[in-house]
Amino acid sequence: MTRVLCPALILAAPSSSQGKTTITAALASMLTKQGKLVRVFKVGPDYLDPQILRQASGQPVEPLDLWMGGPEYCQQKMYEAALVADIILIEGAMGIFDGDPSSADLAAHFGIPIAIVMDVKGMAQTAAAIAVGLANFRDDFDVTGLIANNCGSERHAQLIRDALPASLPLLGTLKRSDAITLPERHLGLVQAEEIQAELKQKLAAGIEWIEASDLKYILDVVKPVEFHPVAKEKLLPIAPELAGKTIAIAKDTAFSFIYDANLRLLTDLGASYVFFSPMYDDVMPKADALWLPGGYPELHVDKLTSNLSMLQSIRDFAQTDNAILAECGGFLYCLESLADLQDNSFTMLGLLQGKGQMRERGGCQGMQTAPLPEGDIRGHSHHRSLSFDTPEPIAIGRRPKHPAPGEAIYRVGNITASYLHLFFPSNPQAIAALFKEL
């Protein structure tokens, strides 16, 4: 079996909000500016961080999750990246040991070293103590060193450096800078498409930020990792079961939670797809199936509800025998109405009985399996709304290791709808069946 060597590093942290995305994006931008081909991955399910990282690297950004995609999927994607990349950067999720599987599990499974990213504001020697504790909590992966973010001064950096053992070097210290801070909203970062000019400026500032630190020498400390392809018999079979089918996909700032891996699978299944905007287009394109992915419909209700010709176009499509998949934001769009945090109610498509209501705190979260009639499809849930007065579900999402019920899954005529975001490569045959005529 052919192997390939490529420098690779996972940037993980004690918790969220330590600066992982900002630093990963800045490193990718700097190396890309130097003429390096940088492939970036994101641990776990995430739509927003990859948009930023794609802009920084100029390359597609894939999610890596040992449960959602499976070990073979992750192995093959990294092998394919290693064939062309000068370096692979992987942004961790939450804290280094959070989740099951976690960033540490990915590091251990594939032998990829970790750089600990830590916001050191308000501490010095304690930062070293935390880093040592993280590095030694388990013995099945290696830690390359510590990246100290929000470091106040050279004296601050020296206190941390002196407290670290020789086995855990300080890879770089990054000064506090508002110029590189990425804007956020509920559910995470603001979408890259919404802040193109601002993001370009922040990535340029990020390059200067990295070049002012020892992190500019990152290629000198990242070691090559061996990557192997997956044996063909272990890969899920993909037949062109959707040959000749065209799938219309909603895509604009209201509907943008779309994995490149999902699009690639549709193509592998023989389908073609065409994007359209429920906000700005007059009618949906001619198609054999419709996918309404997640996003932020609650931020764009005025445009969505005032586009009467598009609403009618989708309603007309729903009267055919063609399949419709609606996920999270797409599910809310299919309901009778959606109310914002001030209880202002807006009329939606009305394809499904029920109402949506935005709320301050989170809803049902985490990894789940959707037990559909076509087969089990893995995915995840993350939202700040609830739905009520909905039909009886055909199934309930199953959590991997927790007995609590997951998201309700609805099937009304040709419409399959849920809060769940499905990861298509987890079951290609079920996805093919889902998008065929019901």
Q: What residues act catalytically? A: 328
Q: Do 348 and 305 meet the contact criterion of CB atoms below 8 Å apart? A: yes
Q: How far is CA 232 from each of CA 100, 229, 248, 324, 351, rounded to the nearest angstrom?
A: 27, 9, 31, 32, 42
Contact predicate 345/357, CB 8 Å: no
DSSP 398: B
406 touches 244 (CB < 8 A): no
Contact 187, 384 (CB under 8 A): yes
Picking from 345, 343, 271, the residue whose alpha carbon sits closest to that of residue 301 is: 345
> Which two tokens mark 14?
């004690």
Could you tell me if residue 287 is left (phi over 0), alpha (psi between -120 and 50 degrees) or otherwise beta? beta
- Residues 367-389: b if buried by 16+ CB within 10 A, e if exposed: bbbbbbebbebbbbbbbebebee
Cα→Cα distances 300→324, 328, 329, 345, 366, Å: 21, 15, 11, 13, 25
Q: Which stretch of DSSP H or E encloses residue 412?
A: strand 408-412
For β-strands 366-372 and 375-381, DSSP reports them as antiparallel
User: What is the rounded CA–CA span in Å between residue 214 and residue 208?
Assistant: 12
